[in-house]
Chains A and B, each alone.
Chain A
Amino acid sequence: MTDPIYEILIAILKAVIIFAVLLQIVPLLVYFERRICAWIQDRIGPNRVGPVGLLQPLADVIKLAFKEDLTPQGADKWIYRLAPVLVYAPAVLAFTVIPVGIDLQVATFDIGVIFLFTISGFSVYGLAFGGWASNNKYSLLGGLRASAQMISYEVAMGLSIIAILMTAETVDLNEIVRQQWGAGTLGLLEWNLFQQPIAAVVFMIAAFAETNRLPFDLAECEAELIGGFHTEYTGLKFATFFMGEYVAMITMSGLMITLFLGGWSVPWVEIPTDPSIFDVALSVGFFTVKLFALLFFYIWTRWTLPRFRYDQLMRIGWKVFIPVSLANIGLTAIAGVLGWKWLIPLP
């Protein structure tokens, strides 16, 4: 077991399997998004390609791959090419630290949350570069909006997480998941969603803004900015942007589950100290169920709400979420010092 080569092989195998599955979720998610939005709008959605339209994403990928790859005149070629990768890579990298099963993650860090935040913050460069390098005023506006929005909401998001980390007294995501497990019927109340509801709501909404999903998709804005930062992108470059967005959605949902919804822990089943394959599979299954529930919520919200205006976005970000999450930190700190166990979970 301690053979280093064995360890490396196991690590590579874990990375390959988790990333392969992660990337397979993306086309499935696109399919679900299109079907669910169709149902919301009393339509049917793609149902022709393959059984109930399941092969539609594949057809889309083939179409995108054979499209002409254009670079607009006057574009900054290298930055233009770099931008989609800068959106895609951080989203995938950030997923490495999210535990998908009992102690099962691609990279085991003690600083899980901090690493995730550092990396996922990079995706704003991709959006800003893409908008800047396209040599298109709408793209530039989209890129600028993306930067302003993501910087604003990253603050609120970080602050909401600090409250969680204060009560958890650790940044190890597996440890945070373990703390959220409780015995008995009321075990679910140990979830941080119920222990720290303010942080959970702020985090959820900031996650929408971070992933550029409606109602916060001001970086794209089909109506005003004809697609924003990705207006000029075609073919596989556009597909990379698109994939990056969806992977970021999955990563943020994974983080939301880990921090607030009990992660991979299975309710009412004690976390085994020496897990068998079956225990790991069960925990992965529960994580996946929660992941799809949360992704459904993302899609459901997207097709319900219209886009916020830019001033509304900024007002909510700076005047509501940041003060609220700061107040939440203050409350948590006071409760922690005074030992109010009825208000917050204390270790």
Chain B
Amino acid sequence: MANHSDASEEKLERKTATTEPREKATYAVPVAKGLINTLKHILRNEPNTIHYPDEKRTPYPGYRGEHRLKRDELGREKCVACFMCSTACPAHCIEIVAEEAPWDDREKRPRLFNIDMMRCIYCGMCEEACPCDAIELTPVFNIPARTRAEKIYDKDKLLSL
């Protein structure tokens, strides 16, 4: 390994020592190289552009977009209003008001569950903090709105996503 890196370093040194001053003196060689390179790009003409509103990119797995609240197999919200997510949230964008749950398997459920999407930094800490796997970040990245009020998502909206 050591030998290899020495050799490549030496090669690099020799390269800079011999070719650079001559090229710098005239600029002609680097200019010609650059022109050929850009011409290749023109002729190849393979744009990387995605025509956004017409074509949409599929986000990679693990992409952190808008939140949603999950339901369990009985159709109830999984959230037990433990406040772990709102405590973990570095942007303090989760507002929870708890109420007593009418079911036997848990003590509480959220009466209010508001996320202020304008404050959210999409870090995913809430998802990690949640003990019941009730909140998760979806890959939805198309998030504009016309008013700030629209970007405060309440419990119904979060459950419906």
Contacts and interface: CB of A to CB of B under 8 A. Distances in A.
A36 interface: yes
B34 interface: yes
Contact of B49 (A40, A44, A303, A305): A44
Given A44-B47, A44-B49, A305-B31, A39 B39 contact: no
A305 B95 CA distance: 54
A303 B38 contact: yes
Nearest to B51: A44
A71 interface: no
- For chain A, give the interface size range: 10 to 19
Contacts of A36: 42
Contact of B48 (A43, A301, A305, A316): A43
A268 interface: no
Contacts of A301: 35
Given A300-B39, A304-B37, A38 B31 contact: no
A311 B25 CA distance: 14
B45 interface: yes
Contacts of B104: none
Contacts of B39: 300
Given A36-B42, A305-B31, A43 B47 contact: yes
B34 A40 contact: no
Contacts of A40: 38, 41-42
B46 interface: yes
Given A42-B48, A43-B47, A43-B48, A305 B34 contact: yes
Contacts of A38: 47
Nearest to B41: A40
Contacts of A41: 41
Interface in B21-61: 27, 31, 34-35, 37-39, 41-42, 45-49, 51
Interface in A278-337: 300-301, 303-305, 316
Interface string A30-52: 00000010111111100000000
Interface of A: 36, 38-44, 300-301, 303-305, 316
Given A42-B46, A301-B35, 15 more contacts: A36-B42, A39-B42, A39-B47, A40-B38, A43-B48, A43-B49, A44-B51, A300-B35, A300-B38, A300-B39, A300-B42, A303-B38, A304-B37, A304-B38, A305-B34
